[in-house]
Structure 1
Amino acid sequence: MRAATGLWRWRHNPLRRTTDLAEAWIAFAAAALLCVVVPLTGWAAGSSAHGSLQRAVRTQQEQRVPTTARVVRQADGPGSGPRTADTAGEERLRRSVVARWTAPDGSVRTGTVTTSRRQSAPGDTFPLWTDRSGHPVTPPMRAGTARAHALIAGLMAAMLTGLLVEIVRRLAVRRLVLTRYARLDRAWAATGPDWGRTGTGS
């Protein structure tokens, strides 16, 4: 609104310079981009991320099978499950145990896995996710988690787009200000030597 008001105010002002009008138009264009392009960019990025993550959720739910594992004994080393950034950060809160579970094909498997139970005695049971081959895997991503990640992706895209618009606006205004100063310097250089002495006869 301030950009549009500035455009109207400078429209017929006799003191208006070309750089003033250009600066007002740049502000108007930046405001329009912030109101239209930035939300659309965030929506498009969030929608794309949401679609991809929901497909990943469905794929994981199809490929991963829940089962129940029974503790055999405490493990001496870390679990044999997949090591990712998330699981690495959770290892300090999880315990490794030797457990026995049934694979999707009906065979009985035994291996070292991690559990969130702080105390696991032999015979205790806990939920475990495996792939179709019976190997322990992390639980599938939840739909709510996918939506949250998609929302964050959309917000980040919108913020980055808005930041880019503001950077371009500032660079353009800086260029106009430098041009304005250069014109003032040339005008002062042309009239400066005679300043205050016009008509004195000196």
Structure 2
Amino acid sequence: MRAAIGLWRWRHNPLRRTTDLVEAWVAFVAAVLLCVLVPLTGWAAGSSADDSLQRAVRVQQEQRVPTTARVVRAVEPPASRSGTAEDAGDERLRRQVVARWTAPDGSPRTGTVTTARRTSAPGTAFALWTDRDGRPAPAPMQAGTARAHAAVAGLTAALLTGVLVEIVRRLAVRRLVLLRYARLDRAWAATGPDWGRTGTGS
């Protein structure tokens, strides 16, 4: 709105310079782009990311099978193991266990998996995801999680587009200001030596 008002103000102003009009047009175009291009870019990026992630969700749900595993025994970490504070915090919440489960083809499987620490007692049952061959696999991504990631991607694209538009506008305005100063310097250089003298301009 301010850009449109500024453009209208400069239309018939006798003090208007060419750079003033160009600067008003730059501000107007930037405002239009911020109102139109930024939302469109965010929507397009978010929609594209959502389509891709939803396809990944469907593939993961088709390729992974939920089953129930039972803990055989806990796996004690090596005594000499040294890790970061993040690793230590993860160990307090989760631990590795030897567990037994049934593969999709009905065959029994045994292997080392990571589970919540409260389910690490021998004989405890816990949910486990496997691939079609019966190997442990991460849980498939949920559709809601995919939509959240797509929304973040759309917002990020919109924000970056807005920042780019503002950077271009500022560079254009800076160029116009430098051009305006250069013209003032040339005008002063032409009239400055005779400034205040009697008969100047006669």
TM-score by length of 2: 0.91
- SS state at 1:138 partner: coil
Pair 151,6 (structure 1): closer, same or farther in 2 beyond 3 Å: same
1:42 alignment partner in structure 2: 42
How far did 1:117 drift?
3.4
Aligned residues: 191
Contact 1:73 1:122 in 2 (8 A): yes
User: How far apart, CA to CA, are the structure 2 residues paired with 1:199 and 1:94?
Assistant: 94
How far did 1:91 drift?
4.0
- 1:107-160 CA-to-partner distances (Å, cap 9, x unmatched) read 111111011233521111000000001110110000110010000000000000
For 1:166, give the aligned amino acid. Answer: E
User: How far apart, CA to CA, are the structure 2 residues paired with 1:118 and 1:69?
Assistant: 14
Of stretches 43-52 and 111-120 in structure 1, the one that deviates more from structure 2 is 111-120
Q: Is 1:112 matched up with 2:115?
A: no
- Runs of 4 or more above 3 Å deviation: 88-92
2:71 alignment partner in structure 1: 71
Contact 1:95 1:118 in 2 (8 A): no
Gaps of 5+ in 1: 79-87
1:61 alignment partner in structure 2: 61
2:83 alignment partner in structure 1: none
For 1:20, give the aligned amino acid. Answer: D
Gaps of 5+ in 2: 79-86
Contact 2:69 2:101 in 1 (8 A): yes
For 2:53, give the aligned amino acid. Answer: L
User: How far apart, CA to CA, are the structure 2 residues paired with 1:106 and 1:118?
Assistant: 28
TM-score by length of 1: 0.91
1:28 alignment partner in structure 2: 28
Contact 2:72 2:123 in 1 (8 A): yes
2:7 alignment partner in structure 1: 7
